[in-house]
Amino acid sequence: MSKEIWVWAEQRQGRLMPVSLELLGKGQELSRKLGGKVAAVLMGAEVRELAAELLEHGCEKVYVAEDPILSLYQSGPYGNLLAGYIEESKPEIVLWGATSVGGELAAWVAARLRTGLTAHCIDLYIDDIKGKPQLVQVVPGWGGNLALKIVCDTTPQMATVKPGVMAEAPRTKAQGEILPLAVEIKGGDFRAETIEIVEEELEERPLEEAKIVVAGGWGLNSLGSFELVGELAKVLGGAVGGTRPALDKGWITESSLIGQSGKTVSPDLFISLGASGAAQFTTGFEKAKVILAVEQNPQAPIFEIADIGIVGDLKSILPLLIQELKKGL
């Protein structure tokens, strides 16, 4: 068993997913505690430029599996190849982004290796347990009211991490190495075959990348719509999000849901409008640099985590807030 920490570097159509660089940053932190090295595994066709990008972000090794047949994500070939690489190199820890692709692939590999997998982690750290350093995997639990700490006794220790939770690894002087991996694919790997991948055109920047996020909750019901939330976000150049009740009301889409069952964001400014602050919601933005909350109930839990709190009726406060911001911007 090596003390390497592997990060699966997810790429789509020649672009690294931001969560890959976020995991790389966390991997570097863990490797210092573990006394090992952080490595990335990159798969695809003609991905050497992406390997160089990973080195620029402090990766010590980049294992590259290149083949035209890997140009599109295929669960069978990707999963079997990765399982084989892990069996051969025996890394201590393997980290994946909790994306639609990363979640599926991590589960496939975990089943193949008969090891544990903790999904949708919000934090990871190394602690001394039973006389040896182990990975502690933190997930929100039981409706978001508690943070559960999970330790896996099987190896490799594997976890998926929600995008937007962790800071990206900073750029540094590239000093690592690129190591090619053999690509041996069997006909039986293609039980299902990917023919084409089509990405939806997004009208707005993804929530995870926004520097300012404006989110609304059930309190917007008094206004009858989400229109002013969108207007405030537009004035600030931010993105729109919301709570589960806002989704159920039809005000936001699934991609804009923030919280335990939705997105996790860490913007410079997070504005919460008309949300009481249930833990399953606040776990989605607790790492924001500044939190501004507007809520009519002065005892609402949201004010326990807010840096700036405004108690009052949204019907009065929100139009005035938008008006004043337009004057100053």
Give the pLDDT of residue 166: 86
- Residue-level pLDDT at 204: 56
Burial 246-268 (b: 16+ CB within 10 A, else e): bbebebbeeebbbbbbbbbbbbe
What would the DSSP string read from start to end of 24-58? HHHHHHHHHHHTS-EEEEEEESS-HHHHHHHHHTT
Nearest to 157 by CA among 6, 39, 318, 293: 6
What pLDDT, on a 0 to 100 scale, did the predictor assign at position 271?
Answer: 96
CB 129, CB 194: distance < 8 Å: no
For residue 286, the model assigns a pLDDT of: 85
pLDDT of residue 75: 84
Q: What is the pLDDT along the chain (329 residues), one digit of tens a residue?
A: 568 999 999 998 889 999 999 999 999 999 999 888 999 999 999 899 999 999 999 999 999 999 988 888 888 889 999 999 999 999 999 999 998 899 999 999 999 999 999 998 888 999 998 888 899 998 876 544 567 899 998 889 999 998 888 888 988 887 889 999 999 877 656 666 666 666 655 455 678 888 999 999 999 988 888 999 999 999 999 999 999 999 988 899 888 999 877 888 889 999 999 999 888 888 889 889 999 999 999 999 999 999 999 999 999 999 999 998 888 66
For residues 18 and 170, give the distance between their C-alpha atoms in angstroms, rounded to a whole number: 12
Structure tokens at 16: 């690294």
Q: Which residue in this structure is represented by tokens 């390497």?
A: 4
Name the token pair of 141: 């639990």
Cα separation, 198 vs 186, whole angstroms? 26
Residues sharing a CB contact under 8 Å with residue 195, sequence separation 6 or more, in sequence order: 72
Distances (CA, A) of 213 to 7, 82, 282, 324: 28, 36, 13, 18
Q: Which domains, ranges and CATH numbers included, belong to the chain?
A: 5-189 (3.40.50.620), 207-328 (3.40.50.1220)
CA atoms of 281 and 302, how far apart (whole Å) = 10
156 and 115 Cβ atoms separated by less than 8 Å: yes
Distances (CA, A) of 90 to 2, 36, 164, 180, 255: 6, 13, 28, 17, 36
Distance CA 106, CA 85 (A): 14
Q: Nearest-CA neighbor of 3 among 25, 29, 28, 31?
A: 31
